Structure 1
Amino acid sequence: MNTASSGLAAAQTQLKVVSDNVSNVNTPGYVRKIAEQRTLTSLGMGAGVEVARIRLATDRFLQAASLNAGAESARMGARHELYDRIQSQFGDPGGDAGFFSQIDKVFAAFAANAEDPTSSPRRQDALFRTQAAFDESGRIAQQIQAVREDADSRIQSAVERANGLLGQIEGLNLEIARATAVDGDASGAETAQSALIGQLATLMDIRVSVRPVGGVSIRTGTGTLLAGQGAATLEYNRAGTVTGETAFNEIWVTEPGGQKRSLLDSITSGEIKGLVELRDVEAPAAAERLAELVAHMADELNRAHNANSAVPAPTSLTGRNVGQSIESAVAGFSGQTTVAVTNASGVIQARADIVFFGASMTINGAAAVPATFLSVLNTQLGGAATASFVDGRLTLAATGANGVAVADDAAAPSDKAGRGFSHYFGLNDLISTDRPAFYDNGLSPASPHGFTPGETLTLRFTGQSGSRLRDLQVAVPAGGTVGDLVTALNDTATGVGRFGTFALAANGSLSFTGYGNPEPTLSVLEDRTTQVPSGVSVTELFGIGDGVRASRADGFSLRVDIRQSPSKLALARLNLSAAAGTPALSVGDGRGALALADAGERATNFQPAGGSSGGSTSVSRYAAELSGEIGGKAAAAKTRMATAGALYTEAAARQTAHEGVNLDEELVLMTTYQQAFNASARLIQAAKDMYDTLMGMI
């Protein structure tokens, strides 16, 4: 009787499990239940059967494979989605409306001006296309920053979701442990927990292990405890508006035991990882490459325009802020240049021929040094024009109705860090900017840096995972030279010497090389330095940090007076060999327009940016390479997303095939347990009949 009644109870439990499985056949995430039976014994004799426990049909290997594949799929999906937005901003590389096509049209428009330099419509068309190209670069730069802001916002949302999931998973751990302690059915709580674990795995890579007391322990891929002994807590605060060198905050995880550490050191995949990689690596790289392209496009147009002159020559030329004193800026030149004063007809009225010898110079044969450059120049101009230097800007102004023009000697042009005199000071720039646009400024270790001792800048170093390594505050030293500043930056105790080294190149550019493989990433948290007299900071002067360099892309625009009056566009060349009394400037001269048209093909030195090693190439070639790189990265991101998605689909399908409900199998089991139930019932009936017969006999 006892054996039969135990079989009856076991069959009833099995039928209940089967019916539960069948009813949930279409429930997403449902894991099939299995009731495990075992034999009962008493004094070595069989005493029936019992259901030891009801468990889920979970395969830990398949579950781990599915969770890992899901995390990688979410990571690649986030990267592709946001990078595709970046790529779309540049437009179709082969279309007429794309950004890179606009660059080609700028140079083509200047070539048209060479055919007819006096055509006002052609001048306006060239200026319109030039302004449109730089406006578009600014728009793209802002959109890239908007993508970074979006990624940052999604990181915060993902952190909040992860906290909610960990809290629910830990709550279910308690329910499962209580049910396990009394041999109860915890399968419902385990099914709900399994679904939550799947959601958590899309946010970060995790490892799941079963606890002896019931429930699960969850750790990150590198072992940080998230749940199992309490729920871990993730912390993140958005950085706010992402402009320039704004540094993002750290994502912290506090383990149940109280240990606080960087989450990025603990995860290798998942949506959070993908968002961080896009925000901190891929988007900045695109912005840096764009800024480097646009900066050199502006620089090459300015190179050509500084060699040109409008007809008649403008009454004054005001340069850009070079971020130095006049003594530092004028030192280090070689070659020859001429400052000429012309009348309305283009006839030279006065001129100052400057011959540079590095630390000294002559002006019309009169000796000068950097400290006396302005006074000697003004003396040699004889009142026909005056030179002044205010707030880092050099100005040449003619007196009366005359104009002023600058031209280099054809055989021995002036040169400092690859730029002529007018170009270096930006006296006749076509494209203006509100910040330093290039960092090969010609400074040497002996050059005065102009910063006040004690002023500070704060640098941050991050590792390959994106986690913060160290924040360092460096003070401007008492020594006043650029060499002293570089030495202070490289100090192992108060500078960055433990993470890498700064090096000043011969052209004045400052570069940072980190120690280790991979190298740490350098960014600027805060810069409180101000140079006298220019007002620029150390970061702006030398381009320290990728954020400062990337921010250049939205700072370029056509010079205001030229935009308002196209006749001021410089398309002619000053003829220094013109005979006395004959015009040195001609209205129909289109040589300057040809130089502007060829600016895109002139080889120039691009600095490393966004993973590119830089090197000598033309603006047009660099633009073509960038176009291919942006498109190639977008295509690669799409391929990686598709591949990761396919692996996840396959892993999930295999897991579902093992853990999901198969109606045919369940119906077979139902028939089997119905027959077992009937057999146990018949055995009970037989025992009852036997007892009745025995009782009747007595």
Structure 2
Amino acid sequence: MGLSQALSTAMSGLRATQASLSLVSSNVANAETPGYVRKTLNQVAGTTGEFGSSVLIAGVNRQLDEFLQAQLRTETSGAAYADVRSDFLTNLQGVYGNPDSTGTIEDAYNKFLTALQGLSTSPESQSARISAVNAAQSLAQQLNATSQGIQTLRANAEAGISDSVSTANNAMQQIARINVQLQAATGTSDASTGALLDERDRYITQLSQLMDIRTVTNSQNQVTVFTNSGVQLVGSEAATLSFNAQGTMTPTALSNPDPTKSTVGTITINFPHGGSYDLVSTNSIRSGKIAAYLELRDKTLVQAQTQIDQLAASMSSALSDKTTAGTAATAGAQTGFDIDLSGLQSGNTIHLTYKDNATGVTHNLSIIRVDDPSVLPLSNTTTVDPNDEVLGVDFSGGMSSVLAQLNGALGSTAGLQFSNPSGSTLRVVDDGATNRSDITAASVTTTVSSLTSGDPHLPLFTDNGGLYTGAINASGSQTTGLAARISVNTALIGDPSRMVIFATNPQTPAGDTTRANLILNQLSTASFSYSPQTGLGTTGAPFTGTLLNFTKQFISQQGEAATAAKQLADGQDVVLNTLQSKMDSVSGVNMDEEMAHLLALQNAYSANARVMSSIKQMYDTLLQIAGG
């Protein structure tokens, strides 16, 4: 090797050492920088002359395990999803309150029952009457407050979606920007390229907290980001998400797969070259913060509202709904029943039981009055009883229209015939000689509207001052949001004696216990079935129990859900932290290793410098000899 070759080799060594020292300095400086990936120099041997080998810098390596990185992003989405759910369910548990504390639905209900027991014992006591009305008001107000708390949480989820969409848009735009910069730097692998890749990874990780994503990277360092459902978010250009927030959340603000029927905000992706896509109705986001917010707003908290709405509805109906059996009727060879529809209101039900003699099957038919034909036909799930066959009938056109609808629906199929012999009487009979069906029972359930109707049933609770009848119209069921609107009948507040007196001619004796006992029995020992939409029971086997049983059950269910969500979030955080530790061990900066590397570089630098110094001395000696 000639001196010039040796000098060139030593200089290449100095250059490589200087570049490595620069990377070590950068690694040490960014040891605590989130998302920073340790850099090393990629060195290769190069030929110098006939005998020597110099060192060439082939680029900068990022110490990155891409498989581990993909796992980390998946778990980041899962952890963010679990943490959001846990936080909200803990807050929801706070809205319901601790069952053992005051200021809860269960506490207010128990105090109401205690007041009713006092009224049943001393119905003539004005104090007992007032106490019962006041306790009823406290219960109604507790339901109002609980509903408000649930809707506040839904509003918070809506705000969380809006903030997440803004963050996601910024992250996607930054990823696209860096893709363009990297494309311009194709073929280079220096420290600046590594810094861009680090920055892009940080934005991808940020995006993975918001939604479940996967990435595809090509040979030119261009990354394409998709949702796990396959929707492309970023390529050389970024898509844009838009969210049409609807403002204040109310119980009637509900999501619907049909965009024309949905009354909550949805997320739409707008692609760079035109076209858009609804990410919510297509279930395109399945994890991350956004998925958690959507699930909470549209399912979890809606179910919580349904639970207290069902309690309010069942409690109201238990006191105001009166069932009256039909009276036997005949028309020649035909037999059946006469049913008095004088008190029938929208949402009230006519019950028929008939046996199909050809098949031996007994049918339980619920004919529900509706005054808005746009809601027809009604589903069999309109009632809680799984054995019910439901028929909605529009009463807005009068009795002749009602008869036409009933005979049209049941005349040919069941052999039943309907008529109106007089006034508001509905007569239903079998077909006589053919004997296709036998009608075995008939009744009507109506909502009592007066406090002094002569019947102990009463509208103790009202819907913002109006009767609760379970009406169904184009806006939905009256049950939806009832807990937010339930109140005590103002006539009772003005005259608590109506808690006892239910007739004025002759007047109910002051010490009569009939009404007080009915109220107490209905609210403490009577058993009811509840909609499976509350999350309790199923369509085929609905939850059945007293009102207090139902209350305790859904509050207990909520507590268990909050505990399970916290355990899931804690477990997910452990998994995430474990993966992050593995990632840090591979890609993070280890100060001990960097210091050891620094000492090695110092020695290498000194050695290369010593070689250059020796070569200089040799050149000086040669020049002296040549000059001599």
Question: Which one of the candidate residues 190, 198, 201 is aligned to 1:191?
Answer: 198
Q: For 1:313-346, what per-residue CA distance to the aligned partner results, in whole angstroms no more than 9, with x for missing partners?
A: xxxxxxxxxxxxxxxxxxx9525xxxxxxxxxxx
1:140 aligns with 2:70: no
1:603 aligns with 2:527: yes
Distance 1:7 1:209, change over 3 A: farther
Q: Which residue matches 2:269?
A: 253
Q: Which amino acid aligns with 1:196?
A: Y
Q: Which residue matches 1:685?
A: 613
Distance 1:110 1:573, change over 3 A: farther
1:98 aligns with 2:116: no
Aligned-pair distance for 1:259? 5.4
In 2, the alpha carbon distance for the partners of 1:297 and 1:126 equals: 15
Q: Which residue matches 1:594?
A: 517
Aligned-pair distance for 1:76? 1.4
Name the SS of the counterpart of 2:604 in structure 1: helix
In 2, the alpha carbon distance for the partners of 1:606 and 1:266 equals: 33
1:657 aligns with 2:585: yes
Distance 1:633 1:485, change over 3 A: farther
Name the SS of the counterpart of 2:32 in structure 1: coil
Q: Which residue matches 2:320?
A: 302
Question: Which one of the candidate residues 207, 231, 238 is aligned to 2:245?
Answer: 238
Q: Which residue matches 1:214?
A: 221
Question: Which one of the candidate residues 310, 327, 335 is aligned to 1:292?
Answer: 310
Aligned-pair distance for 1:104? 1.7
Q: Which residue matches 2:459?
A: none
**Percentage of matched positions with identical amino acids:** 26
Aligned-pair distance for 1:126? 0.8
Q: Which residue matches 2:483?
A: 553
In 1, the alpha carbon distance for the partners of 2:16 and 2:297 equals: 57
In 2, the alpha carbon distance for the partners of 1:284 and 1:634 equals: 16
Name the SS of the counterpart of 1:30 in structure 2: coil
Distance 1:46 1:250, change over 3 A: farther
In 2, the alpha carbon distance for the partners of 1:223 and 1:393 equals: 45
Q: Which residue matches 2:544?
A: 616
Structure 1 stretch displaced more, 216-225 or 643-652: 216-225
Q: Which residue matches 2:90?
A: 84
Listed as ranges, the matches of 1:152-167 within 5 Å are 152-167=158-173
Distance 1:259 1:183, change over 3 A: same
Q: Which residue matches 1:223?
A: 230
Listed as ranges, the matches of 1:633-648 within 5 Å are 633-648=561-576
1:16 aligns with 2:22: yes
Distance 1:645 1:182, change over 3 A: closer
Name the SS of the counterpart of 2:544 in structure 1: strand
Aligned-pair distance for 1:3? 1.7
In 2, the alpha carbon distance for the partners of 1:484 and 1:153 equals: 52
Name the SS of the counterpart of 1:48 in structure 2: strand
In 1, the alpha carbon distance for the partners of 2:59 and 2:569 equals: 41
CA contact (8 A) 1:443 1:508 kept: no
Question: Which one of the candidate residues 171, 182, 199 is aligned to 2:177?
Answer: 171
Name the SS of the counterpart of 1:143 in structure 2: helix
In 2, the alpha carbon distance for the partners of 1:45 and 1:223 equals: 56
Name the SS of the counterpart of 2:534 in structure 1: coil
CA contact (8 A) 2:239 2:269 kept: yes
Q: Which amino acid aligns with 1:139?
A: A
Name the SS of the counterpart of 1:609 in structure 2: helix
Name the SS of the counterpart of 2:123 in structure 1: coil
Aligned-pair distance for 1:16? 0.6
In 2, the alpha carbon distance for the partners of 1:368 and 1:266 equals: 55
Name the SS of the counterpart of 1:668 in structure 2: helix
CA contact (8 A) 1:222 1:267 kept: yes
Q: For 1:102-123, what per-residue CA distance to the aligned partner results, in whole angstroms no more than 9, with x for missing partners?
A: 1122122111112111111111
Q: Which amino acid aligns with 2:484?
A: D
Aligned-pair distance for 1:187? 2.0
Aligned-pair distance for 1:391? 8.4
Q: Which amino acid aligns with 1:171?
A: R
RMSD across aligned C-alpha pairs, in angstroms? Answer: 4.0
- TM-score, structure 2 normalization: 0.73
Q: Which residue matches 1:121?
A: 127
Name the SS of the counterpart of 2:533 in structure 1: coil
Structure 2: 5+ residue runs without aligned partners?
1-6, 254-262, 353-363, 379-393, 411-441, 446-465
In 1, the alpha carbon distance for the partners of 2:180 and 2:269 equals: 22
CA contact (8 A) 2:123 2:512 kept: yes
1:62 aligns with 2:78: no
Q: Which residue matches 1:499?
A: none
Distance 1:35 1:633, change over 3 A: same
CA contact (8 A) 1:359 1:369 kept: no
Q: For 1:138-158, what per-residue CA distance to the aligned partner results, in whole angstroms no more than 9, with x for missing partners?
A: 221122122112211210111
Listed as ranges, the matches of 1:496-535 within 5 Å are none
1:334 aligns with 2:325: yes
Q: Which residue matches 1:262?
A: 278
In 1, the alpha carbon distance for the partners of 2:409 and 2:102 equals: 46
Structure 1 stretch displaced more, 245-254 or 655-664: 245-254
Name the SS of the counterpart of 1:208 in structure 2: strand
Q: Which residue matches 1:319?
A: none
Q: Which amino acid aligns with 1:667?
A: M
Question: Which one of the candidate residues 565, 568, 572 is aligned to 2:495?
Answer: 565
Distance 1:286 1:448, change over 3 A: closer
Q: Which residue matches 1:74?
A: 80
Distance 1:359 1:647, change over 3 A: farther
Distance 1:615 1:482, change over 3 A: farther
- TM-score, structure 1 normalization: 0.66
CA contact (8 A) 1:571 1:590 kept: no
Q: Which residue matches 2:34?
A: 28
Distance 1:508 1:486, change over 3 A: farther
